Each structure stands twice: as structure tokens, then as C-alpha cells.
Amino acid sequence: MSKTSTRRKLGLAVAQMGPVHLADDRAAVVKRLVAMMREAASRGSEFVVFPELALTTFFPRYWMSEAEAVERFFERSMPNADVQPLFDTARDLGIGFYLGYAEITPDGRRFNTAVLVDRTARVIGKYRKIHLPGHDDHKVDAPFQHLEKKFFEVGDLGFGVWDMEGTHVGMCLCNDRRWPETYRVMSLQSAELIVLGYNTPSLNIHWNEPAHWRTSTHEIVLQASAYQNAVWIGAAGKCGSEDGHHMIGSSMIVAPSGEIVARSTYEEDEVITAHIDLAMGQTFREHVFNFAKHRSPHHYRLIVERTGAGEPLPTRQPDAD
Ligand code: CDT
């Protein structure tokens, strides 16, 4: 992969989705995705970001067996007959996309997955979610569940970066966006654009988190991470009230300056767009975040040596006089 891309401008769209209810079938959902893809293309976009688990309701909120979840909510291949209209439209329009869905592999492994699809409708990359939030037990007193740890394995593909017609694109999913390592591993592979989908419940069942923090922390991590890694970020949420369960909106496109250049207004299907200048990230990478010049990995060893926080290390101090 070359150090810099040849194309500097990219028409980027983020296609936020309003609620997908339990009763909504794949055909209805794919129709909505196709409509948003058409709108994105009509506004000059070359790539569109769809949410996490875009084809179904956010089913980890429901207690059920793994077999039932697989039967109702998982995809055995991508594309498949239900999703083919989206791939056909992408090829017709010459637009690439990112799509999140629940994946079951031929040998029965389950992942929370996203694919990167180029302008010829070819799947060029796959990401399987690494930072799975929630729990695997039945929380009978909770208003709903967050069973990602029951329904999915931790992703086994790492954080990849793909050369998509000259743009270096990395992927992650939802809770991954809250972890600095996610972005740094991709920016160290010269990512220029990081795309992600999310489903963020407005209510945190684990502790009494003020509702507005759900959105403010989402904004803070996207803005800080774009800046600290000199990347563009496109983040697409599924939002609004799914069968009475509310999720945040605030889908956005963030520049390497940390500024939000486009943001959704509503909690429904909504396409936001920007013609992003990839050269902006390059400028930051040449100056304040010139990694090769300024990083000191020998001082960062704990990041890979420890998982949880532990005792302070003995530090070297200057010799006493
Ligand atoms: N889908 C997902 O990863 N949602 C998480 C909620 C965490 S609260 C248990 C998020 O970070 O938005």
C-alpha cells in the first residue's frame, strides 16, 4: 500500500436508519437502504456508511436461545438473496458501501460483522466486532438485555485497513469507537477514513448513566479520535424507538481537525453527506501527528502488556544530588 493515496476528494455519505421493528422483514429494510443509497448517489457520494446490524432490529436486547437468534437475525452469506438488491443498486450507481449485519459462518461461529464493498459491488473487506459490550446472562430485572456477549464471539480478524480505489479505509463497530486502541491500530496502517455503524441504547442498563451522556460521549470519542489519528470518520447510527426501545441518533462525519462537518438532525432514515478532502488528514500526519517522528512506543509497552489496570510501575527518577 502506498503511503499516500492518489485521489484526494471523496464524496462520503452516512445513511442513518430510523427504527427497525421486530415485525419488519429484510425486504422492507433493504428497500430503505436502497432508497438511501440512491439519495447518496444523487448528491454526488461515492461511498455510503450504513449502521451496525442494519438488516434487523437490535436483537441483542431480547433474551432468546442462540438457535432462535440465528434463525431470525443472522446471515449465512453476504450478499444473499435478501440483500442482493442493495449490491445490484451499488453496482448500477457505482457507489461503495459499509454494511453491518449478524454473521453465522458455515461452521456455526457467530460474529457482529461489517463488510466493505467497492463501487463494483465486490466485498473487499470484512471486520468482526472486537469490543463486545453487555453480558451473556439473563438480567431478569433489567428493562431489556444487552446480550452481545451471548450471541457473538470476539472478532478474530483484527482491525484491518483496505485500499479502496486509492482511499485507505478502516472499519470498526459501535462500542469499538469508545476505545483509543481501535483507531491507533488503524492509523498506524495509514488509514485515512474510518467508518462505523452503531446501535446505542439511550438507557444504560448497567448503571444509572445520565441519558445525555450517551450522546455526548459518542460525540467526544469521534471528535477526539479523528483528531488524534488524523483520520476522517463516518459514523452511522440506527436510532429512534425500536418497539419502545430508544436509541440515540447523532450520526456524523468528522474531519481530522476534530470538527463535525455533517450531522443528522432527526431520529429516522436520513442521509448526510460531505465532499471530504483526504489531504486534510495528510497535513496533520505531516505535522503534529507525524507518527514516525514523534511517537515513543517504548514508553507505551503497558498498552499491550496489560489488559486491566494494575500497580504503578517503578519509575526511573533523576539521581538525587
Ligand atoms: N451496540 C453497541 O456496541 N452499543 C454500545 C452500548 C454499550 S452499553 C452496554 C455502545 O457503545 O454504544
Flag whether pLDDT at 6 surpasses 70. Answer: no
Q: If you measure from the C-alpha of residue 13 to the centroid of ligand 1, how many angstroms do you get, rounded to a whole number?
A: 23
Q: Report the nearest atom of ligand 1 relative to the CA of 173.
A: 3
Q: For residue 77, which of 29, 123, 17, 25 has the smallest C-alpha distance?
A: 123
What local confidence, expressed as pLDDT, does residue 316 receive?
79
The number of beta carbons lying within 10 Å of the beta carbon of residue 218 is 22
Mean pLDDT of 113-128: 98
Q: Report the nearest atom of ligand 1 relative to the CA of 199.
A: 1
Sign (positive or negative) of CA dihedral 55, 271, 38, 274: negative
Q: List, in order, residues 6 or more apart from 205 with CB less than 8 Å away.
A: 139, 142, 143, 144, 145, 146
What local confidence, expressed as pLDDT, does residue 318 receive?
85
Ligand 1 pocket check for 234: Cβ under 6 Å: no
Ligand 1 pocket check for 133: Cβ under 6 Å: yes
Q: If you measure from the C-alpha of residue 214 to the centroid of ligand 1, how many angstroms do you get, rounded to a whole number?
A: 9
What local confidence, expressed as pLDDT, does residue 2 receive?
44
Ligand 1 pocket check for 139: Cβ under 6 Å: no
User: From atom 8 of ligand 1, which residue's Cα is the shortest distance away?
Assistant: 204
Per-residue pLDDT tens over the stretch 172-202: 999 999 999 999 999 999 999 999 999 999 9
Mean residue pLDDT across the chain = 96
Q: For residue 100, which of 53, 153, 60 has the smallest C-alpha distance?
A: 53
Flag whether pLDDT at 8 surpasses 60. Answer: yes
What local confidence, expressed as pLDDT, does residue 321 receive?
61
Flag whether pLDDT at 303 surpasses 50. Answer: yes
Ligand 1 pocket check for 198: Cβ under 6 Å: yes
Ligand 1 pocket check for 112: Cβ under 6 Å: no
Confidence category of residue 319, pLDDT binned at 50, 70, 90: confident
Q: Report the nearest atom of ligand 1 relative to the CA of 174.
A: 3
Stated pTM of the model: 0.96
Ligand 1 pocket check for 179: Cβ under 6 Å: no
Higher pLDDT, 319 or 105: 105
Mean pLDDT of 229-250: 98
Q: What is the spatial distance between Cα 305 and Cα 301, in angstroms, rounded to a whole number?
A: 6
Confidence category of residue 4, pLDDT binned at 50, 70, 90: very low
How is 178-226 classified by DSSP, letter by letter? G-HHHHHHHHTTT-SEEEEEE--BSS-SSS---HHHHHHHHHHHHHHHH
How is 21-83 classified by DSSP, letter by letter? -TT--HHHHHHHHHHHHHHHHHTT-SEEE--TTTTS--GGGS---HHHHHHHH-BSSSS-TTT
Per-residue pLDDT tens over the stretch 240-257: 999 999 999 999 999 999
Q: Report the nearest atom of ligand 1 relative to the CA of 52.
A: 1
What local confidence, expressed as pLDDT, does residue 317 receive?
85
- Per-residue exposure over 153-192, b if at least 16 CB sit within 10 Å of its own CB, e if not: eebeeebbbbebbebbbbbbbbbbbbeeebbbbbbeebbb
